[in-house]
Amino acid sequence: MALDGNAIGGLLLEIFGSDMTSAEATCATCGAVRPVADTMVYLRGPGTVVRCCNCASVLIVVTRVRGLSCVDLSGIAALEVNPRR
């Protein structure tokens, strides 16, 4: 079952060192711009998969390989951490 980016707030906090849920992500596939909180998140598999809620393309994949977090952000074209509200 899909959750949203709120569910990985802690994971992203650990990886980026700051809260990323309100960071705005631009999908590299369809160009949609949404806060990270507003993405589809698939947890509990071999890794965490974050998908664009507009086109379902993969934005971010986080795997934990031998205790180290590996983050792939290639599905994101841009990530704006402090967007103007």
Nearest approach in angstroms of CB 45 to another protein is 4
8 A C-beta contact, residue 16 and residue 82:
no
- The single-letter DSSP state of residue 54 is T
Nearest approach in angstroms of CB 15 to another protein is 11
CA–CA gap between residue 85 and residue 79 (Å, rounded): 15
CA–CA gap between residue 26 and residue 78 (Å, rounded): 5
Nearest approach in angstroms of CB 13 to another protein is 6
Contact residues: another protein, CB under 8 A: 1-7, 9-10, 13-14, 17-19, 21-22, 35-38, 40, 42-47, 49, 51, 56, 58, 61, 63, 65-66, 70, 72
